[in-house]
Every structure is written in structure tokens, then in C-alpha cells.
Structure 1
Amino acid sequence: KDSGVPREDFKLKVGVFGAEPWTESMRKEIEEKLCIKAYDIYGLSEIAGPGVGYECECQNGTHLNEDHFFPEIVDPKTLQPVNPGETGELVFTHLTKEGMPLLRYRTKDLTALHYEKCACGRTLVRMDRILGRSDDMLIIRGVNVFPTQIESVILEMPEFEPHYLLIVDRVNNTDTMELKVEARPDFYSDEINKMLALKKKLTARLQSVLGLGVNVKIVEPRSIERSVGKAKRVIDNRKL
């Protein structure tokens, strides 16, 4: 977009994305902006790197390679298996690796497994999109909060860029959240009333999704520092 190249001139037709969780809203934005089909791939270095699982053309879950790995979902607190379709922590056991195989390795990734046959015809178990990591989950005043929930809200509103920073703190023994989010250039304005209305809209939406109040601060486009590799989305000052 910045270079002025029409999307229709892109030769790229398919993209495979991994490394960090993304939301369905993020997928749609990538597909619309690049005119491609965007597929999810799952992997972790301890198990096999990329290729532990992949999406099919149905884009309805990640097929896990059960001929090489035995996946389970367990309760992250009790470590007991949960029922199919229930969310918990993903655990893997190697079936074919001979050099240092892992048994019931805890990934810390939170998701669910579905065993019914996929519309594509494959019978490999399907994994839901990663909700987040058990060690990324924030507990704010007794409520579990995942950064992906905030990202989903931001991406469903066309006024905002997918760049944000959540700052968690404790003030007077109470947990607080401040969200800095970039407005898109077409929506950013010096008019206070417009920005206040936009802030009110986002604050109300976050309240309805999280069940918690968030202090929203709308900032200029490209003002949030970009990071190389996995994006840094959360600063939890309670841990400092």
C-alpha cells in the first residue's frame, strides 16, 4: 500500500503463517490487503519445528500429524485430560522420534481438539486456533484476560491499526489496564470530540468482551514501537 503497488499486481496467491497466534480478524485483514489465501501452520522447536500441524483448504482448524505425535488437551492446573472440544493446555507425546523423544510435553498453548471428520475428507484431529499461552494469560481482578481477546476487538473496528500495547499495573492495590492503540491515518484527528467518541466506542466494546474497564489511549499512526520477531503486546508492571 505504501509503495503504491496495486494489490491485483501481486503474484503471491497463498501465504502460510506461524510463529505467534493470530485471530480470525487478522487473517481476514491479511487476505483482503494482499489478495491471498492465508493458512495457519503450527509447530514448536521442542517437538519438530514447523509442520506439527497445518490448515487444509477449509480453514476450519489445524490438522495435527497424528502419525508422528499423540496430542492431548489437559487442564493446566490439574493436568487431567479434558473432554473433546473443551479448552485446555496442549500436550504432545512423540511416536516416531528416536533421538530424545518427549512424553506428554506441555506446550503451554491453550486450545481445543476436535475428532470428527473434516469437510476436506481428512480424519486427522483438528486443533482450534491457539487462544493464547497459559503463561501469557493475565489475571486482572480475578478475571482471565488474553491479549488475543483485545486484538480481536481492535481488528473488528476499521478505525484502528493492528498495533497496540497493553500496560498492566497495580494502583492502590487494584489492578489497572491501559491500552495504547494506533488509529488509522484516515481516522486520526486533532479534533478532540472525534477522538473522544472513538475512545468511548472502543472502551465500551472492550468492556463488553472482557467484563473489565480499560483505560484506552488512542495514539498517532506508527507511534508504537515495532519489534523484530514476535510482537511485544503486554507490559505487566506488577511483575517488576
Structure 2
Amino acid sequence: MPWDDEFECMPLEKLQRFQLKKFKETLDWVYEKIPFYRKKFDEKGIKPQAVKALEDIHKLPMTIKNDLRDNYPFGLCAVPMNQVVRIHASSGTTGKPITGPYTKEDLEQWTECMARNLFSAGIRPGDMIQNAYGHGLFTGGLGFHQGAVRLGCTVVPTGSGMTERQITLLKDFGAKALFCTPSYALTIAERAEEMKVDIRSLPVSIGVFGAEPWTIGIRDEIEHRMGIKAMEAYGLTELSGPGVAFDCEAQDGLHINEDHFLAEIVDPVTLEPLPLGEKGELIFTSLQRRAMPMIRYRTKDITRFRRETCVCGRTFLKMDKIFGRSDDMLIISGVNVFPSQIEALLLDIQEVEPQYVLVVGKKGHLDHLAVKVEAKPGVIEAGEQKKAEVEKKISNHIRGMMGIGVKIELLAPKTITRSEGKAMRVIDQRPKG
């Protein structure tokens, strides 16, 4: 049984009636309260009253990340600041940070979305959880915290970092669930092995991971090394944080909280809508948020939708795990390449660890890709011939599956800096400008 079976198992026709009602209310709200959206709507020659059906969403303008930066910090806030009870923000590593103001009602809705997410992952009232997400401006730590509290869990708010202490507390306190990024879960597993702690024998049996793209191969690696079920929480600061979409026991796609978010898939180049099952860019519209609703926000995440009966009983739309980001896509020898595709192929190679970086450079006018990946213990020690064999094996595998030539550099174990948050997987050395 889901946490909120009224909505999570709602028949499609009834759900769509609810969505349309909230959609119209949101359009009226942003047109009245946010000058940016009023101007965008007027430029398109459309009034909120012209929207009669969910399909009319394609008539509306889109919102992009630069719109949020141009209106930094609170130009897109629809309520007076004395009604804002919390503000989160992105890291701002690629420009001005993206701010996320919340009303009391917004926090309540976010908390419910996170409670659904965690309950779906198998967490129950009374469970102890260890929250190793960063607590602060980043939405992860507090988002997971408030969802777990809503469920009635005991929360150990360790925050990120201090990996040995994380392992010690998992052992001493006996938490059932761990929250962190997938790359940090691998760091914890690796450090536990070094500490001679058998993490598979500990009470922890569930991990809920997010905040960065991760492949099914990485999920399998985490489950094998930690002896847990690795579940996913998908979200964005722009939409509220984690809890936008989530895994269920089927681990076969993420259920979107459709009573809170209206989802679309469009062609990332033409921006035209794509039919169910087609891979494209994920677009979200807020349906219930008050402080900073987003209209047709371009996530840049690439996925596809499925509307199907799920074994868990939920009727919410499913999206596949994120394949990559449209702005992360590389063009190597005329082939579109996502970092996640390289990751999946690396995980096919028994001699390497799931620790790698992709280095993008220029050779003349063309982009060039090099892959640095750590070898498993004993491979480098076996000598240069063995190292060259594995490098050739990886190169041939990538060429055979993707049709591109990639320079491979096999590194000694522990060479690549470990992540305590989001992993840095791509180093772009191409000249700027």
C-alpha cells in the first residue's frame, strides 16, 4: 500500500481532472503575481483563460535556467518575503545560484512528496535512518530529513563527509536506511572494506540515492558491495528539491508525483512534444507550489515516459532513469555521446572499478574524448603488458558498441579523488570562447 493511495493510485481520468484544475489555478496565479510570466504570456498572445485542456500546455512559453539567474534572487517569487519561511539554493558553480523560496504550504507539499518517496523505498515508521546528504542551502539534506520525520522515523543527521564516522555510526547505531549521493555510497563501501568492516552484515538494508545521474550498472554495484536495495529520489532545486519522482519495489522506472508536477517530453532541438515512449527532454510545470511555481521548466534531462500498470499499484506516470543531460552531450566523431553511456560500458569490464573521469579536449576542430578509469587491485601490479591489454579491451568495447575511438588511461586504485557529494565525472579542457 502506498503512503497516499488516494493520489498515488488514482484512476487516470480523475487524476487528469485534478491536474487540469490545479494547472488553471497556477496559470492564473503566476499571471497575476509574477511580472516575468505575465510578460512571457502576453508576448505569446495567450491569457490563462485560453487554456481549456492539459494539451494546451504546448501553447505556453518555456522557462529556462537563465531566466532564474536573470531574475536572481527573488524576481520570480510570487509571494511577499514575509510569507517565505525557507530559502534553498543551488551551488552556483556555473553562474549565479538558483534560489528556491518556500511558503509554509510549499514545505508541507514537499514533505508529503518526500514521505511518498521514502515509503515507496521500503522505509516505515519507527525505522532509523542515517542522512548523509549535505544539510544547508542544498535541498537534499533537509528534504530527506523532513520526509523521514513525516514518516515517523528516527533520523541521524550526519551530513556528508567524515566517511569513517559514517561507517562507525552505521555499525554502532544500526540504521536501516542510508541517504546520500550514489557516488558517496560507493565511497562509503570502499572505505568500509579498507576498515575491515563488513558493511553487508550491518542492519542497513535500504539506500535512497539521488542528486546526480547514475546508471543501472552503478545501482547494481552499490547493491552488491553494500548488500542493500539501492532506490532513487529524483528532483531539482527549481521544482522544490528531491521527491519529484521516485523508485518503487519494481525498480523499473520512477513514478512522477503527478498531482504536484505536470510532465512533458519534447524534442530537445525543435521543442515539439514527443509521444509516449519517445526519448527526449523532460519538462515540468508546478501544479501546487505558491512561492515560485515553474511553467514548462526545461530540465535538460533526457528520459522517456511509460504509462503502465505497475506491480506496486501506483498509477502515476513512469519515467526511465535519466539517460543524460542535453547540455552534457558530447559529439565525438559525429556520434552523440552521453557520459552515462560510457559509464555503462566501463562497468562491463571486470578489471576496473566504478571510478572514472572523462576528459574532453580538442584535436584540430574536433572534440576528442579520453577516459581515465581506475583498475582493480592487482591489475597494474601485473605489469605494463596487462595494463595495455585492459586499456585495449576497454577501447575496443567502446568502439564496438558506440563506433567511436577513445583514448583509455588505466589508473592505479585510489587515484581519482572520492566524492562526498556529487561526483565530478567530466573535465572539459576545450578552449573557452
TM-score (norm 2): 0.54
1:82-121 mapped onto 2 (5 Å cutoff): 82-121=274-313
C-alpha spacing 1:165/1:89, structure 2 compared with 1 (3 Å): same
* Paired residues for 1:158-197 under 5 Å: 158-197=350-389
Contact kept, 8 Å, 1:53 with 1:63, in 2: the verdict is: yes
Structure 2 counterpart of 1:64, one-letter code: I
Give the structure with higher Rg (CA). Answer: 2
Whole-angstrom distance in 2 between the partners of 1:87 and 1:173 = 29
User: Hey, what's the Cα distance between the residues in 2 that align with 1:94 and 1:28?
Assistant: 33
| Count of aligned positions | 240
2:429 match: 237
Alignment check: 8 A CA contact 2:260 2:287 kept = yes
CA distance in structure 2 between the aligned counterparts of 1:71 and 1:127, rounded to whole angstroms: 10
Quote the residue 1:81 is aligned against: 273
Which letter maps to 2:415? S
SS, match of residue 106 in structure 1: strand
The whole-number CA distance in structure 1 between the counterparts of 2:416 and 2:287 is 44
* CA shift for structure 1 position 227: 4.3
CA contact (8 A) 1:131 1:146 kept: yes
Match for residue 349 of structure 2? 157
1:218 matches 2:382: no
1:38 maps to what in 2?
A: 230
**Does the 8 Å CA contact 2:200/2:228 hold for their aligned counterparts?**
no
The alignment's TM-score, normalised by the length of structure 1, stands at 0.95
CA deviations on 1:72-125 (whole Å, 9 max, x unpaired) are 001111111101011111000111112221111111111111111212221100
- Gap change, CA 1:102 and 1:181, over 3 Å in 2: same
Measure, in 2, the Cα distance between the counterparts of 1:8 and 1:215.
36
CA distance in 2, matches of 1:78, 1:173: 26
CA contact (8 A) 1:10 1:34 kept: no
Q: Is the 8 A contact 1:159 1:187 kept in 2?
A: yes
> Is the contact made by 1:56 and 1:62 (CA closer than 8 Å) also made in structure 2?
yes
Quote the RMSD (CA, aligned, Å). Answer: 1.4
CA displacement at 1:150 relative to structure 2: 0.9
Residues 74 and 90 in structure 1, CA contact (< 8 A), matched pair in contact too: yes
Q: More deviation in 117-126 or 50-59?
A: 117-126
Partner amino acid for 1:173? H
More strand by share: 1
* 1:209 and 2:401 matched: yes
User: Which residue of the partner structure matches residue 221 of structure 2?
Assistant: 29
Q: Which has the higher helix share?
A: 2
Unaligned runs of 5+ in 1: none
Runs of 5+ in structure 2 lacking a partner?
1-192
After the TM superposition, which segments of 4 or more aligned residues of structure 1 sit over 3 Å from their partners?
Answer: none
Q: CA deviation at 1:15?
A: 0.5
Q: Percent identity?
A: 49
Matches within 5 A, 1:125-164: 125-164=317-356
Greater alpha carbon shift after TM alignment, 163-172 vs 24-33: 163-172
8 Å Cα contact 1:117/1:124 also seen in 2? no
Mapped contact 2:256–2:319 kept (Cα < 8 A):
yes
Shift of 1:194: 1.1
Q: Write the distance in 1 (CA, Å) between the matches of 2:252 and 2:328.
A: 24
Query: Which residue in 1 is equivalent to 2:209?
Result: 17
Which amino acid is the alignment partner of residue 367 of structure 2? D
Could you tell me how far apart the structure 2 residues matched to 1:175 and 1:92 are?
32
